Amino acid sequence: MTTTDLPQSLMETLPGHYYTDQTIFSLEQTRIFERGWFCAVRSGDLQAAGAFQTVQVGRESVLIARGRDGKLNAYLNVCRHRGARLCTEETGSVKRSFQCPYHAWTYGLDGKLIAAPNLTGMPDVDRSEYGLHRVRLREWLGYAWVCLAAEPPSFEETVIADVADRLGGADEIAGYQIDQLALGKRIEYDVKANWKQIIENFMECYHCATIHPELTEVLPEFADGFAAQYYVGHGAQFGEEVEGFTVDGSAGVDRLPGVGEHQDRRYYAITVRPQVFINLVPDHVIVHRMFPLAPDRTLIHCDWLYLPEVVESGRDLSRSVELFHRVNQQDFDACERCQLAMDSRAYARGGVLVPSEHHIGEFHDWVRNQIDADEVTTAR
């Protein structure tokens, strides 16, 4: 049976090699992750001048640091002298500058070259021309988003548009005041699956009744298989006996003051392409950042965010954290189970999407367009 012979209820998926082929993954690195906006770090993790993190964005290591002026800066983590990795640590702090451990070329927090051995004996060298390569950075929702492209796409027409298209307007997320929230918990997951498996899983709920018993207890409509992202502006409603978005349905913590009445007792899921999930509930926000490292490996940082006074008070957050932690574990196990079959001859031409998953087809089209599917076909 060919894809043109499919019943109207079914749509084709991407072929299996899209999840395992190194050439395709390399194209995704260069044409998706290195061209678009990438959610790199939580701004609040770098509070003091000199605080830094290194982040893998596509094929590049990016150094993000807080300057003495209080602003965040991003640079390629490469010394301009001989190309040595400038910072090998994932996180840390420096007093005033970054020094390459190879030949001691030294750069200020603003990326400018400020010193190098024997530099005074080279009067023809313009220090301003040999600073670190700057990367575009934009802060939004309390996170630093970076773009490696020489001419970045519009932030408003990509990142913010994904949120607006899901919620029915960008203003719908403003009441959660995410940039004012505090980190209550962070869990890092190392998932043996392609990044697209994880996005597809997050976008649908056809699997919810099968693998998410705790989630469907809190959100009964998920048991019917229709994901929150299937309808523009729709938030899944809590069950009648459910008090909060917790593992046992018990009451959560203080409601975020900007949440509207129409958003109360509802859960909203948002996919921001290519690597962010935002989950909104009345008393906290959960943000996933994906870092694709290989065709079959994706690191995920998951942040649980609450009102600062809730975190500072030492309130017990374990029940709300545990709910989505279990959901994550269940989802990632399912993604790894799928990844095992992607090279099977049984999946060489892909699988099918049922009606409640048809919106995933739009994501597949987006991937094909970004990497130029015709070029991929020719290369094979």
- Out of 147, 174, 206, a domain closes at 147
Q: What's the number of CA atoms in the CB half-sphere (13 Å) around residue 15?
A: 13
Is residue 303 domain-shared with residue 348, that is, in the same domain?
Answer: yes
Let me know whether 210 and 359 are in one domain.
yes
Flag whether 153 is in a domain: no
- Whether 323 and 216 map to the same domain: the answer is yes
At 376 the pLDDT is 65
- Confirm if 283 and 245 have CB atoms less than 8 A apart: yes
What are the CB-based long-range contacts (under 8 Å, 24+) for 306-310? 306/181, 306/182, 306/184, 306/253, 306/254, 307/181, 307/182, 307/253, 307/254, 307/256, 308/180, 308/181, 308/182, 309/254, 310/182, 310/184, 310/253, 310/254
Q: Is residue 374 part of a domain?
A: no
Inside any domain, residue 245: yes
Same domain, 121 and 206: no
Q: How many domains is the chain built from?
A: 2
- According to the model, what pLDDT value does residue 225 have? 82
Question: In this structure, are residues 298 and 292 in contact, taking their beta carbons and an 8 Å threshold?
Answer: yes
Can the peptide bond before residue 292 be classed as cis, meaning omega within 30 degrees of 0? no
Co-location of 274 and 357 in the same domain: yes
Does 32 reside within a domain?
Answer: no
CB neighbour class for 133 (10 Å; exposed up to 12, middle 13-18, buried from 19):
middle
CATH of the domain at 296: 3.90.380.10
Please identify, among 96, 116, 147, the residue that sits at the C-terminal boundary of a domain: 147
Tell me the pLDDT tens digit for each residue of 111-145. 999 999 998 888 888 888 999 999 999 999 999 99
In a domain, 25, yes or no: no
Q: How confident is the model at residue 2 (pLDDT cuts 50, 70, 90)?
A: very low
User: Do 108 and 137 reside in the same domain of the chain?
Assistant: yes
Query: Is 218 a domain residue?
Result: yes
- Tell me, what CATH number does 101's domain have? 2.102.10.10
Residue 18 lies inside a defined structural domain of this protein: no
Domain check: are 263 and 120 in the same one?
Answer: no
Token readout for 58 is 């596509």
Q: Does residue 117 sit in the same domain as residue 240?
A: no
pTM attached to this predicted model = 0.94
Judge if 197 and 120 occupy the same domain.
Answer: no
With a cut of 80, say whether residue 190 has pLDDT above it. Answer: yes
If asked whether residues 117 and 168 sit together in one domain, one would say: no
Q: CA 217, CA 229: separation in Å to the nearest integer?
A: 19
Do 27 and 376 form a contact (C-beta atoms < 8 A)?
Answer: yes
The per-residue pLDDT for 3 is 52
Chain segment 139-188, per-residue pLDDT in tens: 999 999 999 999 999 999 999 999 999 999 999 999 999 999 999 999 99
In a domain, 171, yes or no: yes
Residue 1 has pLDDT above 50, yes or no: no
Q: Six-digit token pair at 207? A: 């699997």
Assess whether 135 and 180 both reside in one domain: no
Percent of the chain with pLDDT over 70: 96
Same domain membership, residue 175 and residue 134: no
Give the domain extent around 80.
37-147
